[in-house]
Amino acid sequence: MQTMPSARPTVIITRPEPDAAQFAERARVTLGAAVEIVCAPLVEIDPLSQVIEFIHDEQVIFTSRNAVRLAPHGVGRTAFCVGQRTADLALDAGYRAVSADGDASDLINLLKAQSSGPLVHVRGEQTTLSFSNALAALGLVVRDIVAYRQVAKELPVDVVSKILREQRTIVTAFSANAAEVLSKHVAGNKAASTLVAISSSAAAPLTGCFAKTVVASTMDAAGLLAAVQVICDDLSKQTSG
């Protein structure tokens, strides 16, 4: 059965749970009832069966909120975090959290300026090689703990149809890994929808796949939501006009 185009804009949230539901709640408050919100995670977080333990003087690196959720209570231990929302979660978990307010390169600069001892990076199975290489080049002693893997999920058929066919659909990309998964769903097709990516690295795997691509002005959920709001406002003006 052919999917009928939606009369209102649709925002498809592709990040893993529970972050998808939390972002959806923020989006509904910001965008209102005139926009349909659909949660369609591209990956799910699969915790690895290991006990995470820190050596007494290690400072922690968190590059995702998923890592914070799987780590032990911080009991005042210093944690260097890639962004403010990761830092907020780490603070709630008992860490003395410091945010780089950016991406991997900003976090590297923060570590170079403020780290003062051995470091432990709690992370997922997929990681950015340039991040690891840059830390080694700085002479920083870093121990890796792989706490989880990201497992690709199939998108529902109706969601794929919206992405490929509906101009009033907005698709979010929160990471390069999720974008790689999404690229397999749109491979060989030029999607009619608009992609909003949290960063240029998240947009890169989907180059040329969408009718329009927008990169958020800041590399965080707030920046991505602001970009989505601008597009929704433009779509509403087109309808009223």
CA 162, 165, 170, 174 dihedral sign is: positive
* Same domain membership, residue 104 and residue 130: yes
Mean pLDDT of 143-155: 93
pLDDT in tens, 56-103: 899 999 999 999 999 999 999 999 999 999 999 999 999 999 999 988
* Same domain membership, residue 166 and residue 229: yes
Domain that holds residue 165: 10-42+153-240
- Inside any domain, residue 212: yes
- Inside any domain, residue 175: yes
- Inside any domain, residue 5: no
* Same domain membership, residue 140 and residue 211: no
* Same domain membership, residue 218 and residue 142: no
* Same domain membership, residue 169 and residue 92: no
User: How are beta strands 119-124 and 210-215 bridged, if at all?
Assistant: unpaired
- Inside any domain, residue 188: yes
- Split into its structural domains, the chain has a count of 2
Question: What contacts 212, CB < 8 A, 6 or more positions away?
Answer: 194, 195
* Same domain membership, residue 189 and residue 143: no
Q: Which of 150, 183, 208 is the last residue of a domain?
A: 150
Mean pLDDT of 30-59: 93
* Same domain membership, residue 50 and residue 37: no
* Same domain membership, residue 98 and residue 19: no
Conformation bin of residue 209: beta by default, left when phi > 0, alpha when psi is -120 to 50: alpha
* Same domain membership, residue 60 and residue 15: no
70 — phi, psi (to 5°)?
Answer: -95, -10
- Inside any domain, residue 224: yes
Q: Which of 150, 176, 192 is the last residue of a domain?
A: 150
DSSP output for 201-228? HHHGGGTTSEEEEEE-SSSSHHHHHHHH
Q: Which of 150, 167, 202 is the last residue of a domain?
A: 150
* Same domain membership, residue 51 and residue 35: no
Mean pLDDT of 122-136: 79
The CA-CA-CA angle for residues 225, 123, 111, to 5°, reads: 85
* Same domain membership, residue 141 and residue 80: yes
* Same domain membership, residue 73 and residue 30: no
Residue-level pLDDT at 2: 47
Residue-level pLDDT at 1: 41
Rounded-to-integer distance, Cα 164 and Cα 86, Å: 32
Q: Please provide the average confidence, as pLDDT, over all residues in the chain.
A: 91
Q: What percent of the chain shows pLDDT beyond 90?
A: 73
- Inside any domain, residue 66: yes
Q: What is the CATH number of the domain that holds 66?
A: 3.40.50.10090
- Inside any domain, residue 1: no
- Inside any domain, residue 74: yes
pLDDT in tens, 165-187: 999 999 999 988 899 999 999 88
